[in-house]
Amino acid sequence: MSYPTNEPRITAKNTELIKHYLLHGNKAAAYRHAYNCSTMTDGTAYSKANEVFNKPHVQAEVMKHQMALQKRFEVTAEDLQKFLLGVARRCMKDKKDNHGNLVPVAPAVSVSAIAELNRMLGFHAAPGGPAGGATGGEREVIELDPSQYRRVRTEMMIEDDL
């Protein structure tokens, strides 16, 4: 004989929300997909999505599915970080254009890979913000002239090849 409990349960809408979130990685879009948001502003949908995703039973369900996917693909966060770092490095290696000038292979891809790495490592927040960056303090900007830049890039590529 089973007795009713007061524990929250995952509803059909929660299941749809979680499936959509796992596919696309956007909480607000997942909320709009699972619930009727036709009369809501974007801000309201975003707030409602955060409300649902902050519930412990929903967080537990998301984590359960993420762990199952990770186990299925046998991929760790460290594996993904190493892959993205490799992509960033390979795409910044120079090649010669039609005029004989050295240009990066695919700088936009490299920037995207670095941005994703920063997000994964928590470095995307402003200094002093929740993630605090690598040091949590102000970042120093160093300006290089073209010859200094080429020398630094060359040194980086030599290190990558080691």
pLDDT at 136 over 50: no
First to last CA, the chain: 66
Three-class HEC string of the chain: CCCCCCCCCCCHHHHHHHHHHHHHCCHHHHHHHHCCCCCCCHHHHHHHHHHHHCCHHHHHHHHHHHHHHHHHHCCCHHHHHHHHHHHHHHHCCEEECCCCCEEECCHHHHHHHHHHHHHHHCCCCCCCCCCCCCCCCCCCCCCCCHHHHHHHHHHHHHHHHC
Contacts of 51 (CB under 8 A, 6+ apart): none
Instruction: Give the integer Cα–Cα distance in Å for 87 and 117.
Output: 11
Contacts of 153 (CB under 8 A, 6+ apart): 92, 94
Beta bridge partners, 104, equal: 94
Instruction: Give the integer Cα–Cα distance in Å for 105 and 87.
Output: 11
pLDDT at 132 over 50: no
Q: How many residues does the chain have?
A: 162
> Per the structure block, which two tokens stand in for 145?
């002239």
- The domain limits of the chain are 12-73, 77-161
- Mean pLDDT (the chain) is 78
Task: Give the mean model confidence (pLDDT) for residues 5-11.
Answer: 79
Instruction: Give the integer Cα–Cα distance in Å for 158 and 76.
Output: 28
- Give pLDDT tens digits for 17-38: 999 998 888 899 999 999 999 9
Percentage of the chain lying above the pLDDT 70 cut: 74
pTM of the model: 0.47
User: Mean pLDDT lowest for which of 31-35, 42-46, 67-71, 86-90?
Assistant: 67-71
